[in-house]
Structure 1
């Protein structure tokens, strides 16, 4: 039996239908090609933006990248609220501000801030929310002074003008005094770098501890393992003490953990 499509009469009858199908296919193909072209341009734009963002936020020259996920931020908000008792949106707002400080200071300063995004932003957010009893801040062990500068800025937002004391060997590996003082300028305020007291030496040195024992500190940030009994003696009543995961002596009440840091309140 001959094919229907080879029949001259059938082809004449079906020609309008074929033409309609071809037109519709052509329109669909044209629309699909337009969508593909638009998608190609969008992907190219995203790649350009991603490359530029990566130059600013990737891990080159520091401990890790500075691109938190929404899940990481949500977790950080929960941890900060658990330690500070914040029941509103203050924690999330301050974490956002802390993140902007982190990015800005690493872009402008020499060196970087030690730690993950969550730990750095957690410290910068939690310390002010715990309402330190005074503005005297002791940092034991510093990297390049950028964390101290960032903490100055975060405390100032709460009306506390930080008076910094930094204890560190400042032996150039990696910490140099000129770099630290230059970075402290980024903390803002009146004479921020000059007002900061840099005490050269290790905290285990009795002479160093005697030099910094002229006041009681409202905030003490302990980087590394140090004598926490000696740290406690320098803390003002109700001081905020930030440290790593190590046994605490009497007189330091644990408040909880945010990221990799443990927060305590001094008796």
Structure 2
């Protein structure tokens, strides 16, 4: 009998069955062990993947909420801050004020104030986030000689409300005067008149509503309707010497030059004059007018700039 016949015989199969069973059991145990190890390796990966999906979904919800609060909808510009521009603004306000701790503090305070005013108010504050925070944060640190403030061009009055509050935070008692034509839309030479991104009309009622957010000093603000170059408008508010003058009206070179000439007459000794959008490539007439003005006979000394605003001090 050959070996193949022996393996096929019933006697051989009975004799070899225990050995085969042992082999089968060992194979089965080995397979089960491998299955368990594979499952153990896959389960953490699956759990991590599911957690990652949940985290991404949560981030999407948070981003949506963040965008609704700080995004451009309803104001035409985002209020989300980047590290680079913020650090640059800190440096510029520090250079103007000489106090880095106060500069960092005031910029942070101004940002929170900006967000709250645009959330509660009618309309918006015109301009970029760093420029607005720079103006709100810097003016109190420059120690104006008195608390009389003149703003030429206010749009919705929200910036004025913010400046009043920042001055009050510094222990001052601001008295605000505003000059604006209240034309229903934002006016600038060379630009098309179109509805504001906020959807709100530019009028005195909106300004009064927003000034009320600043408390009694805002409610008591004096508002003169008209263009700043009109003799009647100037006569109505030239009854005092202002400690702070914010020039944010006509951005043409001619318009800025006229406002600077008027500011020379009504600025108190030591007054701070803020010229908005200085160095902004979209409004080259602003820089052109100030640079030309400073070359002539003037009471103003150029202190420096922060973001897109120039700061002057009157002699």
TM-score by length of 1: 0.90
Once structures 1 and 2 are overlaid, which stretch shifts more, 148-157 or 78-87?
78-87
Once structures 1 and 2 are overlaid, which stretch shifts more, 92-101 or 169-178?
169-178
Unaligned runs of at least 5 residues, structure 2: 1-19, 187-201, 279-286
Deviation at 1:137, TM superposition (A): 0.4
Counterpart of 1:93 in structure 2 is 105
Which of 270, 276, 294 is 1:238 aligned to? 270
Distance 2:88 2:26 in 1: 69
Distance 1:253 1:75 in 2: 23
Deviation at 1:71, TM superposition (A): 2.1
Once structures 1 and 2 are overlaid, which stretch shifts more, 172-181 or 142-151?
172-181
Counterpart of 2:238 in structure 1 is 213
Unaligned runs of at least 5 residues, structure 1: 1-7
Please state whether the residue corresponding to 1:154 is helix, strand or coil.
helix
Task: Please identify the structure whose Cα radius of gyration is greater.
Answer: 2
2:57 is aligned with 1:34: no
Which of 248, 252, 256 is 2:304 aligned to? 256
**What does 1:151-166 correspond to in 2, within 5 Å?**
151-166=163-178
Which of 56, 73, 82 is 1:69 aligned to? 82
Which of 185, 195, 206 is 1:179 aligned to? 206
Give deviations 1:86-138, integer Å, cap 9, x for gaps: 13x22112111111111111011110000000000010001111111111000
Please state whether the residue corresponding to 2:36 is helix, strand or coil.
helix
**Are 2:175 and 2:217, in contact at CA under 8 Å, matched by a contact in 1?**
no
Bigger proportion of residues as helix: 2
Distance 1:179 1:109 in 2: 9
Distance 2:240 2:157 in 1: 21
Please state whether the residue corresponding to 1:236 is helix, strand or coil.
strand
Once structures 1 and 2 are overlaid, which stretch shifts more, 115-124 or 164-173?
164-173
**Are 2:155 and 2:182, in contact at CA under 8 Å, matched by a contact in 1?**
no
Q: Output the aligned Cα RMSD.
A: 2.0
Counterpart of 2:314 in structure 1 is 266
**Are 1:63 and 1:115, in contact at CA under 8 Å, matched by a contact in 2?**
no
Distance 1:128 1:191 in 2: 16
Deviation at 1:23, TM superposition (A): 2.7
Counterpart of 1:102 in structure 2 is 114
Distance 2:242 2:108 in 1: 27
